[in-house]
């Protein structure tokens, strides 16, 4: 199962040449993960209110082609692997109209409490993401 989020590239997202600044892709995949989880019924706000947080433990990006000012990008999000206290997400960012691949990203999230120590994934989170696992 996958989820797709479309994002328009604004001037603020780019460098002086109109190319998306490389670090902004991390922001885009963060939004895509949030939308993915919310679409599966996982409320990050409710988890935060209970003292459960997700932190980025690892992130790897591979760049293929630059996004540019005015582009609409499609970010496809899937679940790669689920551990007792972690989730690995895979993201493919493409130019929406042409389908040209721009970036692939893999991000591992760890589940932690307020003390930043690992916590087991809640049952509702585990159920939602394992149903979507590749």
Cα–Cα dist 76/26, whole Å: 14
Nearest to 106 by CA among 74, 76, 66, 67: 76
Instruction: Please say if 15 is a catalytic residue.
Output: yes
**CA gyration radius for the chain?**
15
What DSSP string describes 86-104?
A: EEEEEEEEEETTT--EEEE
Q: Which of 13, 15, 71, 115 is catalytic?
A: 15
Annotated catalytic residues are 15
């Amino acid at each position: 199962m996958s989820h797709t989020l479309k994002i328009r590239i604004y001037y603020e997202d780019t460098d002086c040449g109109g190319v998306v600044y490389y670090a902004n892709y991390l922001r885009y995949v963060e939004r895509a993960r949030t939308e993915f989880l919310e679409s599966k019924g996982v409320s990050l706000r409710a988890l935060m209110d209970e003292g459960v947080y997700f932190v980025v433990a690892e992130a790897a990006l591979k760049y293929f082609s630059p996004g540019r000012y005015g582009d609409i990008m499609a970010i496809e999000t899937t679940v790669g692997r689920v551990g007792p206290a972690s989730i690995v997400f895979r993201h493919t960012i493409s130019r929406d109209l042409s389908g040209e691949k721009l970036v692939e990203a893999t991000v591992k999230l760890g589940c932690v409490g307020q003390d930043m120590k690992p916590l087991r994934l809640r049952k509702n989170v585990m159920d939602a993401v394992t149903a979507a696992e590749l």
